[in-house]
Amino acid sequence: MKTITTTFYTFLLLITISFTTQAQDKGVTLDFDNYEANIELLQNYVAAMKKGDAKKLNSFFTEEALIIGLGNTNDTISKEEHLERYMLTFKTNDFNITQDIYLSVKTNENAPVTSGEYGFSWGTVTSTDKKTKKSATSRYHVVALIISGKIAMLMHYYDTMPFALRDGATLIPSKN
């Protein structure tokens, strides 16, 4: 019986080893030349946000960049519209970003997304109205497609409700 058990476990071990050594390429890597540069690009974008420098923010984009999700998830704007929006926003609001972390990956044809280099940031954004001094805070997540050291697409994910409530919106509960 001991021989059968030993044989079974040896066979199981060999099968397990063969599966782990034959793993397919999933198409995503953290090991590529621009990893640090992509992280620095996103960190510099956040630094410009904290300073309220709309022109600096825009300098990080390609000419044809798309910016998605500022205001709501159906909102897609151009680089020029981004500049206009932040020129107005920075006149009335200060921003602070804390607890921010960053990651960059490179994908190839085996990935479930378009091949390229992507940067990610997660953190907390606080917006303070300069006139009323009221603040609102939300967790955020951004995804950037980075091409030749510039942001070609920037997707924002955050809860807009705290900012709407700060600015005077009200919630009316349903009567059900």
- In-domain check, residue 105: yes
Asked whether 44 and 60 are in contact (CB, 8 A), the reply is yes
Sign of the Cα torsion 113, 119, 121, 126 reads negative
- The sheet carrying 93-107 orders its strands as 28-29, 93-107, 116-129, 135-147, 150-158, 61-68, 76-78
- In-domain check, residue 69: yes
The whole-number pLDDT of residue 19 equals: 42
Asked whether 35 and 104 are in contact (CB, 8 A), the reply is yes
pLDDT in tens, 72-110: 556 898 999 999 999 999 999 999 999 999 999 999 998
pLDDT in tens, 120-140: 999 999 999 999 999 999 999
- The CATH number linked to 38 is 3.10.450.50
- In-domain check, residue 33: yes
Asked whether 141 and 121 are in contact (CB, 8 A), the reply is yes
When pLDDT is averaged across residues 31-58 and rounded to a whole number, the result is: 96
Q: How much is the mean pLDDT over the chain? A: 86
d(CA 20, CA 41): 35
When pLDDT is averaged across residues 164-170 and rounded to a whole number, the result is: 92
Asked whether 97 and 125 are in contact (CB, 8 A), the reply is yes
d(CA 128, CA 166): 9
User: What domain count does the chain have?
Assistant: 1
The whole-number pLDDT of residue 14 equals: 43
Side-chain half-sphere exposure of 82, counting CA atoms within 13 A: 29
Q: Would you call 3 helix, strand, or coil by DSSP?
A: helix
For residue 63, is it left (φ>0), alpha (ψ between -120 and 50) or beta?
alpha
Total-model pTM = 0.80
For residue 81, is it left (φ>0), alpha (ψ between -120 and 50) or beta?
alpha
Q: What is the CA radius of gyration of the chain?
A: 23
- In-domain check, residue 142: yes
When pLDDT is averaged across residues 33-45 and rounded to a whole number, the result is: 97
The whole-number pLDDT of residue 128 equals: 97
The whole-number pLDDT of residue 8 equals: 43
Enclosing domain of residue 85:
26-166
pLDDT for 9 beyond 90:
no
The whole-number pLDDT of residue 1 equals: 54
- In-domain check, residue 1: no
When pLDDT is averaged across residues 33-50 and rounded to a whole number, the result is: 96
The whole-number pLDDT of residue 10 equals: 47
d(CA 123, CA 100): 4
- In-domain check, residue 49: yes
- In-domain check, residue 90: yes
- In-domain check, residue 112: yes
